[in-house]
Amino acid sequence: MSNFLQFTVFGIMLGAGYAIAATGLVVTYTTSGVFNFAQGAVGMIAAFGYWELVSAHHVPVLAALVIVLILGASIAGAFVERVLMRRLHGASAERPVMVTLGLMVILTGMATIVWSPTTQRSVEPMISGQFRLVGINIQYQYVLIIAVAAAVAFGLRALFYRTRTGFALRAVVDDPELLGMSGVSPNRMSQYGWMLGFMMAALSGVLLAPTQTTGISIPALTLLVVSGYAAAIIGRLKNIPVAFAAAIGIGLAENYITNYIEPHLSSALQTDVQAAVPMIFLFAALVTLPSVRLRAVGRLTSLRAPRVAGGRESLVAGGVFLAVAVVAMLVFANSSWKGITILDLGAEVMAFGIIALSLVLVTGYSGQVSLCQFTFMGIGAFIMGKVAGGGSVLGLLAATAICAAVGALIAWPTVRLSDLYLALATFAFADAVFYGFFSDGRIYGSGGLSIGRIVLPGLSLGSDKAEFLLVTVFFVLSAWLVLAIRRSLFGRRLVAVNDSPAAYATVGLDIGFTKVAVFAIAAAMAGLAGALYGTVQGTVGTTDFDLFSGIIFVLFVTIWSIRTVSGAFLAALTYVALNQIWPSSIGIFAGLGVILIGRAANGILGIEALHFRLPWVKAPAAPPEALAMSTFSGAPTGSEGLSAAG
């Protein structure tokens, strides 16, 4: 009984920490309509900053808290709103997601540079000591966390529903213009929201840091808030009391599982279960969430879609690309960089290029953000290694088919909801598979999983040249496939469902089927890419399909252009090159890049000023204004046409 009480108190404390993070997410979402994926990273930076001040520089706790929470977090929140988020008003829906992800990888990248991951760091409790109650020992730190969480929840609830500022904070996301007309600055309200959100993130990081028994770590603290995500989602990202209660429930459930179920499992399985539990809660939250009502928002996208190459043009361009690849293969046949042959690096670019093409399909065309394409890649590589002894065509087919099925299973529960939830589901899936599956020593083995190169009947593709050509051919075929899909009936539907879901449904098309189908196709492509990547590498290990690397890659595709095939190729090229040159700073490059791109939905390749410098990118015929004018001039008027019709 005393054990149960002890576990309950610790569970409530854990849940209270999640509750603060969840409250911060709700505050930011309520006031800006943006889900801050960097919430965990902000908490992580705050925890490390607090450690730096208190443990390394012996600053008094209270002063450290003021510096971290009041000065650091609130100023950072105001800065992020003013510099990064404000200019995203009216940008395409996936843009804020990308910017907050960019912020996350910048913060984790900077933290890795400042605080070496190899050093052990422990944060002392703010109030040390414990007391005894009903036969159990309770640490003062736990009481502090629970009390702070409750105070935050009640305080914010009162702020939002009892004060004029609170009304304005809630109103700003609904109609900023209307709020502006009532004499309240919508920008200032949004800024307050970000400041509060950052402070909540920092508070959760600082409070939970002392409870990390193995010391604070950058990825662990950054991902600690996945459980907070689940709580915020149960509160539908707007209800603080429900999010608070859900967070407590999740904290309790996690702690009971840790103490009652995990001891009966093998040590390897314990790690897997620990990693999977937050994801299970997140998925359960997504599945049980009521469907989001389709809304006719009446906001026409002003995005000018990049020109889509015609069938013949695609064939010619693909042929030219292949010819250039053959020449490159001959030129660089015997070259290498840092011990890796150039042809292997080239084949790697092509494999990552296929991943990027899958993102063009799922995010660029249909507007769904997938953060787990690297996960499908890892699954594809794993299947390739396990089927028919590795390196078989059967393995390629199995990797493609199984990833398609898994992709459909991931997308299915979330298609009833808005696209944000799919992004969250893919984030949780990538997190759980990486820490619960890929990191399990039994999956890839201590020396990695040997895959080997493809052997066709009567034809060995063992040489670097043959491997490079094979993967290049698959890249070109994938590019043709993506462009063919875009030109097809299905491609029009992908763009249409992104532009106006309400109109899409009312013309008789099933939103759910379309979204699941495209996600499954993209997952299949990622699985194929993973299988090919495995054959290029020969052996794949636990670090090849890292969660953060997957996010960084998505950002590179966004930077170049997530809506074009050329953007996909350039993203893959940049990613592989930077990984060779500055691997430790690649996240910072990606994060800064996506922030600098800002609201340019078509990435670097969509910036018109660059078109004359990039001769292979054809600019659209005319800017929108000119297009509208040409509609007036020389075109039959509506009345003429209608008269003729009548």
Residue ranges binding another protein (CB under 8 A): 161, 167, 170, 174-175, 178, 236, 238-239, 293-305, 489, 492-493, 495-496, 498-500, 502-511, 624, 627-628, 630-632, 635-646
DSSP 206-275: HHHGGG-TT---HHHHHHTTHHHHHHHHHTTTT-HHHHHHHHHHHHHHHHHIIIIIGGGS-HHHHHHHHH
DSSP 66-134: IIIIIIIIHHHHHHIIIIIIGGGTT--THHHHHHHHHHHHHHHHHHHHHS-TTS---PPPSS--EEEET
Q: How far is the CB of 622 from another protein (least distance, A)?
A: 9
* Residue closer to another protein, measured from CB, 134 or 297: 297
Helix ranges restricted to H, 296-433: 311-331, 342-359, 373-386, 393-411, 419-433
* Residue closer to another protein, measured from CB, 178 or 610: 178
Number of residues that make up the chain: 646
* Residue closer to another protein, measured from CB, 143 or 505: 505
* Residue closer to another protein, measured from CB, 363 or 392: 363
- Inter-residue contact 103 to 41 (CB < 8 Å): yes
Q: How far is the CB of 519 from another protein (least distance, A)?
A: 18
* Residue closer to another protein, measured from CB, 237 or 525: 237
The helix (run of H) or strand (run of E) holding residue 569 is helix 565-581
Q: How far is the CB of 191 from another protein (least distance, A)?
A: 21
Using the 8-state DSSP alphabet, how is residue 459 labeled? E
Q: How far is the CB of 179 from another protein (least distance, A)?
A: 11
Q: Which two tokens stand for residue 563?
A: 């809506």
Q: Which two tokens stand for residue 631?
A: 């509609």
* Residue closer to another protein, measured from CB, 82 or 238: 238
Q: How far is the CB of 354 from another protein (least distance, A)?
A: 24
* Residue closer to another protein, measured from CB, 518 or 528: 518
Q: How far is the CB of 115 from another protein (least distance, A)?
A: 41
CA 643 to each of CA 92, 632, 633, 638, 646: distance values in angstroms, whole numbers, following the listed order: 38, 18, 19, 8, 5
The whole-angstrom separation of Cα 551 and Cα 586 is 11
Which residue is listed with tokens 């991931």? 410
* Residue closer to another protein, measured from CB, 124 or 640: 640
* Residue closer to another protein, measured from CB, 405 or 628: 628
Q: How far is the CB of 3 from another protein (least distance, A)?
A: 39
What count of other Cβ atoms lies within 10 Å of the Cβ of residue 287? 13
Q: How far is the CB of 563 from another protein (least distance, A)?
A: 9
- Bridge partners, 341 (sequence order): 336
The whole-angstrom separation of Cα 77 and Cα 197 is 7
Q: How far is the CB of 601 from another protein (least distance, A)?
A: 10
* Residue closer to another protein, measured from CB, 322 or 481: 481
* Residue closer to another protein, measured from CB, 405 or 642: 642
- Inter-residue contact 446 to 515 (CB < 8 Å): no
Q: How far is the CB of 175 from another protein (least distance, A)?
A: 8
Distance, CA of 518 to chain centre: 18
The whole-angstrom separation of Cα 225 and Cα 281 is 12
Region for residue 546 given its phi and psi (left: phi exceeds 0; alpha: psi -120 to 50; beta: otherwise): beta
* Residue closer to another protein, measured from CB, 364 or 591: 364
Q: How far is the CB of 276 from another protein (least distance, A)?
A: 31
* Residue closer to another protein, measured from CB, 119 or 633: 633
* Residue closer to another protein, measured from CB, 161 or 337: 161
The whole-angstrom separation of Cα 144 and Cα 610 is 55
List Cβ neighbours of 119 (8 Å cut-off, separation of 6 or more). Answer: none
The whole-angstrom separation of Cα 410 and Cα 380 is 16
Q: How far is the CB of 627 from another protein (least distance, A)?
A: 4
Start-to-end CA span in the chain (Å): 83
Q: How far is the CB of 190 from another protein (least distance, A)?
A: 16
Question: For the purposes of burial, counting CB atoms within 10 Å of the CB of 7, is it exposed (0-12), middle (13-18) or buried (19 or more)?
Answer: middle
Q: How far is the CB of 619 from another protein (least distance, A)?
A: 14
Angle at 471 between CA 469 and CA 474, to 5 degrees: 110
